[in-house]
Structure 1
Amino acid sequence: MKRNRIASLLMVMLFSMLLTGCLSSEARRKDAGEQDVYELYIACDSQEDTVTGIFMNEYARLLEEKSNGRIKVNRYPNSQLGSDAEITEAVQNGNITFVVQTTAPQVAFVPEAAIFDAPMAFKNLDVARKVLDGPLSEKLKGYYEAKNLRLLGYADQGFRVMTANQDIQSLADLKGIKIRTMENSNHIQLWKDVGSNPTPMAWSEVYIGLQQKAIDAQENPVETIVAAKVYEQQDYLINTNHILHTLSLIGSPAVIDDLPEDLQQSVYDAADEAKVIARNATDERAAGRVQIVVDSGTTVSPFNEALFNEMKAASAGVWDTLESQIGSELVDLLRSEIDKAEKELGLQ
Structure 2
Amino acid sequence: MKIKMKNKIICIAFLLMFIPLTLTGCLSTEERRGEAKEKDVYELSIAIDSQEDTVTGIFMNKFADLLEEKSKGRMKINRFPNSQLGGDGEITEAVQNGNIAFVVQTTAPQVSFVPEAAIFDAPMAFKNLDVARKVLDGELTEKLKEYYANKKLILLGYADQDFRVMSSNKKVEKMSDLKGIKIRTMENPNHIAFWKLVGANPTPMAWSEVYIGLQQGSIDAQENPIETIVASKVYEQQDDIILTNHILHTLCLIGSPSIINELPEELQKIIYEAADEAKVYARKMTDERNESRVKIIEDSGTKIIPFNEKLFNDMRAASEPVWKSLEEQIGKDLVNTLRSEIDKAEKELNIN
TM interval, short-chain normalised: over 0.9
Unaligned runs of 5+ in 2: 26-31
Q: How does 1:247-258 map to 2 (within 5 A)?
A: 247-258=251-262
Any idea what SS the aligned residue of 1:167 has? Answer: coil
Q: Partner of 1:36 in structure 2?
A: 40
Paired residues of 2:9 and 2:90 also in contact (CA < 8 A): no
Amino acid at match of 1:18: F
Paired residues of 2:24 and 2:40 also in contact (CA < 8 A): no
Distance 1:9 1:213, change over 3 A: farther
CA distance in 1, matches of 2:7, 2:57: 21
Q: How does 1:280-299 map to 2 (within 5 A)?
A: 280-299=284-303
Deviation at 1:214, TM superposition (A): 2.8
Deviation at 1:230, TM superposition (A): 1.3
Q: Paired residue for 1:59, among 60, 63, 85?
A: 63
Q: CA RMSD in A?
A: 1.8
Any idea what SS the aligned residue of 1:238 has? Answer: strand
CA distance in 2, matches of 1:145, 1:200: 32
Paired residues of 2:149 and 2:155 also in contact (CA < 8 A): yes
Q: Partner of 2:148 in structure 1?
A: 144
Paired residues of 1:176 and 1:196 also in contact (CA < 8 A): yes
CA distance in 1, matches of 2:128, 2:9: 42
Query: Quick check: 1:115 aligned with 2:119?
Result: yes
Deviation at 1:280, TM superposition (A): 0.6
CA distance in 2, matches of 1:215, 1:42: 37
Query: Quick check: 1:224 aligned with 2:228?
Result: yes
Distance 1:9 1:185, change over 3 A: closer
Residues 280-331 of structure 1: CA deviation (Å, up to 9, x unaligned): 1111111111111111221111111111111111111110000010111011
Q: How many aligned residue pairs are there?
A: 338
Any idea what SS the aligned residue of 2:17 has? Answer: helix
Q: How does 1:71-220 map to 2 (within 5 A)?
A: 71-220=75-224
Q: How does 1:7-18 map to 2 (within 5 A)?
A: 12=8, 15-18=11-14
Deviation at 1:164, TM superposition (A): 1.1
Paired residues of 1:180 and 1:199 also in contact (CA < 8 A): yes
CA distance in 2, matches of 1:59, 1:188: 34
Any idea what SS the aligned residue of 2:304 has? Answer: strand
Amino acid at match of 1:298: T
Deviation at 1:209, TM superposition (A): 2.5
Q: Paired residue for 1:342, among 318, 331, 346?
A: 346
Percent same amino acid at aligned positions?
70
Deviation at 1:13, TM superposition (A): 6.1
CA distance in 2, matches of 1:120, 1:166: 21
Normalised by the length of structure 2, the TM-score is 0.92
CA distance in 2, matches of 1:257, 1:336: 33
Q: Partner of 1:3 in structure 2?
A: none
Residues 245-277 of structure 1: CA deviation (Å, up to 9, x unaligned): 111100111111111111111110100100000
Q: Partner of 2:241 in structure 1?
A: 237
